[in-house]
Amino acid sequence: MSGQTKHRKTAPRWLWAGGALGAVALSAGALLSACLGPRAPEGKILVEFWDFPRLPAVSEWLEEKIAEFEEQNPDVHVSFTRLSWGRGVERLDIAAFANRPPDLAGATLQLKYVEAGLLEPLDRYLDEEMPGGGGMTWREDIHPEVLDAVQWEDETWAFPWYKEGFIILLNLDILEERGVSPPEDGTWDWDTFIDKMQRLTFDRTGDGQTDVYGIGFNTGREKWEAYPFLFGEGMELISEDGRTSLVNSEATRRGIQRLLDMEFEYQVSLPGAGGITDDTTWTAFTGRDRRLAATCQGLWAINAVVVQNQRLREAEEEARRTGRPLGDLPEPVRVAVAHYPRMPGQEQIMGSYGIGSYMVFRRPHAPERTEAAARLARFLTLEAGQEINREAGLLPSRISKLHVLEDHPMFENILDYLPGAISPPAHPVWRQMDHVIGQQLQLALLRRVGVDEAVTNMGERTQMILDDYWHSRDAAEYALTGRPDGEEAGEEPGQ
Instruction: Answer for the pair 424, 354: CB distance below 8 angstroms, yes or no.
Output: yes
Exposed, middle or buried by CB within 10 Å (0-12, 13-18, 19+), for 265? exposed
Residues 6+ apart with CB under 8 A from 114: 13, 152, 157, 428
Residue 27 has pLDDT above 50, yes or no: no
The better pLDDT of the pair 482, 200 is held by 200
Q: Which residues pair with 403 in a beta bridge?
A: none
| Amino acid at the residue 114 | V
Residue 206: per-residue pLDDT: 94
pLDDT beyond 70 at 10: no
**Choice between 222 and 78, residue whose per-residue pLDDT is larger:** 78
Residue 56 pLDDT class (50, 70, 90 cuts):
confident
CA distance from start to end of the chain:
31
Parallel, antiparallel or unpaired: strands 151-152 and 155-156: antiparallel
Average pLDDT over residues 348-359: 96
Mean pLDDT of all residues belonging to the chain: 89
Whole-prediction pTM: 0.87
Q: By the 8 A CB rule, do 18 and 121 touch?
A: no
pLDDT band at 486 (very low <50, low <70, confident <90, very high): low
Question: How far is 339 from 400, CA to CA, in rounded Å?
Answer: 24
By residue count, the chain amounts to 495
Tell me the per-residue pLDDT of 360-387, one tens digit each, with 9 for 90 and over. 999 999 999 999 999 999 999 999 999 9
Gap between the Cα atoms of 81 and 91, Å rounded: 12
Other C-beta atoms closer than 10 Å to the C-beta of 486 total 14
In contact, 439 and 18? CB cutoff 8 Å: no
**What is the rounded distance in angstroms from the CA atom of residue 245 to the CA atom of residue 264?**
29
Strand 166-171 relative to strand 335-338, pairing: antiparallel
Mean pLDDT of 51-74: 94
Helices (H) and strands (E) in the chain, counts: 16, 12
d(CA 461, CA 448): 18
d(CA 260, CA 254): 10
Q: What b/e string do you get for 298-316 counting C-beta neighbours within 10 Å, with b at 16 or more?
A: bbebbbbbeeebeebeeee
Q: What is the C-alpha separation between 424 and 427, in angstroms, rounded?
A: 9
CA atoms of 102 and 79, how far apart (whole Å): 9
pLDDT for 317: 85
Q: Give the per-residue pLDDT at 488.
A: 53
Q: pLDDT grade, residue 315 (50/70/90)?
A: confident
**Cβ neighbours, 10 Å, residue 8:** 11
pLDDT in tens, 398-449: 999 999 999 999 999 999 999 999 999 999 999 999 999 999 999 999 999 9
Q: Residues 201-221: pLDDT tens digits?
A: 999 999 999 999 999 998 987
Q: Measured in whole angstroms, how far is the alpha carbon of residue 293 from the centre of its chain?
A: 25
Alpha-carbon torsion (303, 305, 311, 313), positive or negative: negative
What is the arithmetic mean of pLDDT over 478-494?
A: 60
What pLDDT score does 55 carry? 84
CB atoms within 10 A of CB 280: 16
- Which stretches of 149-268 are DSSP H helices? 172-178, 190-199, 227-232, 250-260
Q: What domains are there in the chain, each with its CATH number?
A: 13-162+355-417 (3.40.190.10), 166-338 (3.40.190.10)
Q: What are the tens digits of pLDDT across the range 78-121?
A: 999 999 988 899 999 999 999 999 999 998 899 999 999 999 99
**Is 323 or 237 the better-scoring residue by pLDDT?**
237
